[in-house]
Amino acid sequence: MMASAFAVLVILSAFLGAQCSGTCNNPTVVSHAYTTTEPLLSSETVFLVEFELSCESSLSLSALVDDGTTLMPVPRALGVNKYQLSWSMPHKSAKKGTHSIRFFDDEGAAVIRKALRYGDDPSSTAVPLFTIDFQHNGLNRGIWLAPPFIAAIISLLVWWLAHMTKTKLQE
Amino acid sequence: LLLSSRCSLFPDHRSLSCIVLAAVVLSDRVAIMISRRLGFVVLALTVVAAMLPGSHGTAHLLASKVILNEHKVENKDLTVQFSIYNVGTSTAQSVVLQDESFSPSEFSLVQGLFTVSWERIPMDSNVTHIVIVRPLADGVYNVSSARLTYTDDSHNTYEGITSSPGFIQVTPYQEFSRRHEHHLVDWLAFLAMSMPTIVFPFLLWYKSYSRYEKLKNKKE
């Protein structure tokens, strides 16, 4: 009786401990990213990464993008394990290609903050909980040469050829 | 002095004045004893409390809601950016941003969450949140503010609203494309249609020209 009660207590405390400790081992992440592609539809390039975590407890996450020096807190939807990280930067600063975001829990974030304060390289200090990679294809700047310009050039060329032939005939 | 004189003249232990005098003297003596010891403790605690960050400050959040689009077009992405700044003297906790200004009948959500929360926003820092929506039809829309709630270290709850972009004009897709699309297909169609008026006279000329050149070469 006592033994079974004790066993139940141990299991319950372990469960509660897992809930309260706020750690997550090997979480599965389902993510979806969005980046600006049309310069007329946004004055800055925005990046959005929305993801869902399969953790028992809801974590407080912070994120570091590529080699950045700003640790961003990750906001969370209410009631569900859905998170959305978003930031913006001028069009010129946004680089094309694959970008990597590293996510840290409170402990990892504290280590990163300490490293950033003392100027150390944050990537060598803390191990991220998980990483999300996404692709930025750059802005769709449209056609390089405008078709009206090309049409004007062609018509000038045709006129010039005709004019040269006419003067040659008249000589 | 008055009380002590009255008490000595009338040494009746049950008289009110004697009781009051005794209480005052006793409390005075006890206070002197305690105050010396407590004084140091209180002083130490005050110094420590003053050194703790934000222990006597309040959080104050300012939030803005801005549409980043230069052109707002029907059925094209509308980028909405929320920025929250903590200009107070302590950390803001349990910050909840709730936006209900984009009704599903007028805007479709492309990416982003309308309701998000941050566990804490430290003082002198800011956070950004972005949502992408798409207006389903052209026209004028009034985009109102989003709501913000947060608490501070003293467990006071604050409610506020963000700034609002106000009235926005969403242009119809046809008008936008007329001005900003490349119209390559239209130009190729124009080229195809203008070819006959150039190509036929050129072929006629070239036929007679080549015949003349051949005759000229034969003569030489």
Q: What is the pLDDT of residues A41-53, one digit of tens each?
A: 889 999 999 999 8
Residue A15 CB burial class (10 angstroms; 0-12, 13-18, ≥19): exposed
CA distances from A147 to B178, B183, B190 (A): 14, 8, 11
| First-to-last C-alpha distance (Å) of chain A | 123
Nearest to A40 among B70, B117, B132 (CB): B70
A12 pLDDT exceeds 70? Answer: no
**B112 touching chain A per CB within 8 A:** yes
Q: What is the pLDDT of residues A71-82, one digit of tens each?
A: 899 999 988 889
| First-to-last C-alpha distance (Å) of chain B | 152
B200 to chain A, closest Cα gap in Å? 14
Please name the residues between 58 and 97 in chain B that touch chain A, using a CB distance below 8 Å.
68-71, 73, 76-79, 81, 96-97
Lookup: tokens for A120? 């150390």
| Cβ atoms of residues B123 and B86 within 8 Å | yes
Among B143, B102, B111, B21, residue whose Cα is nearest residue A48: B111
**B220 touching chain A per CB within 8 A:** no
Nearest to B79 among A46, A142, A147 (CB): A46
Residue A19 pLDDT: 42
A117 pLDDT exceeds 80? Answer: yes
Contacts with A23 (C-beta within 8 Å, 6 or more apart), sequence order: A59, A105
Distance CA B70, CA B79 (A): 10
Q: What is the mean pLDDT of chain A?
A: 82
- Mark yes or no for CB contact B130/A46 under 8 Å: yes
* Percent of chain A at pLDDT exceeding 70: 84
Contacts of B78 in chain A (CB under 8 A): 41
Residue A23 pLDDT: 61
Residue that wins the pLDDT comparison between A23 and A32: A32
Contacts of B128 in chain A (CB under 8 A): 86-88
Contacts with A129 (C-beta within 8 Å, 6 or more apart), sequence order: A24, A27, A59, A61, A103, A104, A105, A108
Nearest to B198 among A78, A82, A158 (CB): A158
E strand residue ranges, chain B = 61-67, 78-86, 92-98, 107-111, 115-121, 126-135, 139-143, 147-151, 157-161, 166-170
Residue B30 pLDDT: 75
Any idea which residue has 């467990």 for tokens?
B155
Beta-bridge partners for B10: none
Residue A4 pLDDT: 60
**B129 touching chain A per CB within 8 A:** yes
Q: What is the pLDDT of residues A57-104, one digit of tens each?
A: 778 899 998 888 888 999 999 888 899 999 999 998 888 999 999 999
Distance CA A83, CA A51 (A): 5
Q: Residues for chain B: how many in total?
A: 220
Contacts of B119 in chain A (CB under 8 A): 60, 73
Assembly ipTM: 0.76
- Looking at this protein, which amino acid is placed at residue A39? P
Among A113, A128, A162, A97, residue whose Cα is nearest residue A24: A128
Among B131, B126, B83, residue whose Cα is nearest residue B109: B131
Residue B129 pLDDT: 96
**A143 touching chain B per CB within 8 A:** yes
Residue B47 pLDDT: 55
Residue B101 pLDDT: 94
* Percent of chain A at pLDDT exceeding 90: 29
A18 pLDDT exceeds 90? Answer: no
Distance CA B149, CA B161 (A): 8
Residue A16 pLDDT: 43
Digit-by-digit pLDDT tens for chain B (220 residues) are: 555 555 555 555 556 666 777 777 777 777 777 777 776 676 666 555 545 554 568 889 999 999 999 999 999 999 999 999 999 999 999 999 999 999 999 999 999 999 999 999 998 999 999 999 999 999 999 999 999 999 988 888 999 999 999 999 999 999 988 888 878 888 889 889 988 998 998 899 889 989 988 888 888 7
